[in-house]
Amino acid sequence: MYKHRQQGGIMKSLSKIGDQKFLQELNRTLVINTIYHYESISRIEISKITKLSQSTVSNVVEALRNEGYVKETGIGNSTKSGGRKPTLISINNDGAYIVSVAIVTEAFHITLQLGLFDLGLSLIREHEVELNVKGVKLVESMKSIVKSFIAENVDKNILGIGISVPTVLNNEGVIYRGHLLELDHYPLEKELKKEFARLPVFVEQEQHAAMLGERALGTGKNIANIIYVTVGRGIGSSVMVNNQLIKGANGAAGEIGHMSINKYGERCFCGKEGCLRLYATELTFINKIKEAINNEMDLPHRIYNPAVDQIRVKEVYKEAVNGDPFCRSLLIDLLENLCLGLSNLIHIINPERIIVGGNLLNAKEIVIPYLNEKLKQIVDSPADEVEVVEAKLGTKSSLYGAASIIFDKHFLRKDLLINR
């Protein structure tokens, strides 16, 4: 989110550039950032905060009102010297809408989450579709479903489409490693931009989108140093340091799933031994349940139905909370190994907060206290002051985050806020 800084350096550099259009875009960005940050604010206060003249602020606000993006919302308080009470300005939530899409991988299937968000980033409509295809067929199915979703909201002013994917993306939106979707080295963003040419399209990794969602609206709000972690078939993690999302040279920063915690361990599909994902994901649930079945153990019916030979991974969390000793042991083993990976990351990043999302929240009563206690035991001071919390947006963090990306790209324009 925007934080005000002195604009002297910006204005000085612009006087040399002499780019009037750039200056207008910057003024617009400064004004709408300030309105968004303060939620409801007068033109005079915007002028004081941004260091823009009152006439410039008035012109920008009027243009934004004409476009429908902001509105007058009431009357503020007079200054100490008295005078007329100022009119307050805020974002017009109904001024435009954002389509957000999240591809979510479960243990045995893929779900497509779709959401329609207003400018206040409130989810006003949602839809889910279970997909039974992978590879290019998955992309084609997604295109068709998103087109239909947009058509159902044809009366809305759509700003763009934000998409979250559970894969490693490089900085050009190419899937680098997409084994879960069978889309290795696939130019996903390019393909989707070609399909939806009249709308801006941005694709982001699931964990980064979730981080941005929690940063904008959840338990990461106003926190500068964060680790976000989610566990499913793999481990997704995202890192924010001093308010900056860290992606690395090729978009792979924070990929702790392939951090080795056992050099003599099993071989991962990546070719290395002892990767964290082999010990701290739902794959361990599946493997240990299969082992128990082979040993003819009596398992809770909710996690395994012998009549159809079906394992229900999500039920492991619920049974663990209900006190089943086998399911609780599965979960504690996963968490213990997860702590090994997180402790390494904590010593490197020194975060204030770790946000836990995804399926782990199905057993948050166990997960959050265990992680807080265990990490304090194995992490050295002062890094052990980190707090572990649940994701406020739950399993929809990445859906909200993908929407926030479109909002940021269209309005907050952090690329223009140089010298911040």
Q: What domains are defined for the chain?
A: 8-91 (1.10.10.10), 95-212+398-411 (3.30.420.40), 219-391 (3.30.420.40)
pLDDT surpasses 80 at 359 = yes
Percentage with pLDDT > 90 across the chain: 63
Task: Compute how many other C-beta atoms are within 10 angstroms of the C-beta atom of residue 172.
Answer: 11
Provide φ and ψ at 153, rounded to 5°. Answer: -120, 35
* 3-class state of residue 356 by DSSP: strand
Q: How many helical (H) and strand (E) elements, i.e. helices and strands, does the chain have?
A: 12, 17
Name the pTM for this structure: 0.86
More confident site: 137 or 418: 137
Residue 185, Cβ density class (10 Å: 0-12 exposed, 13-18 middle, ≥19 buried):
exposed
The pLDDT assigned to 195 comes to 96
**pLDDT tens digit string along 112-139?**
999 999 999 999 999 999 999 999 999 9
Mean pLDDT of the region 358-381: 94
pLDDT surpasses 70 at 213 = yes
Mean pLDDT of the region 143-150: 96
- Comparing C-alpha atoms, which of 165, 33, 161, 163 is closest to residue 98? 161
Distance CA 209, CA 228 (A): 10
pLDDT surpasses 50 at 21 = yes
Distance CA 215, CA 145 (A): 28
Chain-wide mean pLDDT for the chain? 88
Long-range contacts of 191-200 (CB under 8 A, 24+ apart): 191/139, 192/139, 192/143, 192/161, 192/163, 195/143, 196/146, 196/161, 199/158, 199/159, 199/160, 199/161, 200/159, 200/160, 200/161, 200/406, 200/409, 200/410
Distance CA 402, CA 395 (A): 13
pLDDT surpasses 90 at 170 = no
pLDDT surpasses 70 at 333 = yes
The pLDDT assigned to 82 comes to 60
280, 338 contact by CB (below 8 A): yes
pLDDT surpasses 50 at 10 = no
The pLDDT assigned to 5 comes to 36
The pLDDT assigned to 296 comes to 85
pLDDT surpasses 70 at 247 = yes
pLDDT surpasses 80 at 83 = no
pLDDT surpasses 80 at 1 = no
Distance CA 360, CA 396 (A): 13
The pLDDT assigned to 180 comes to 77
Residue 120, Cβ density class (10 Å: 0-12 exposed, 13-18 middle, ≥19 buried):
middle
The pLDDT assigned to 52 comes to 94
More confident site: 307 or 183: 183
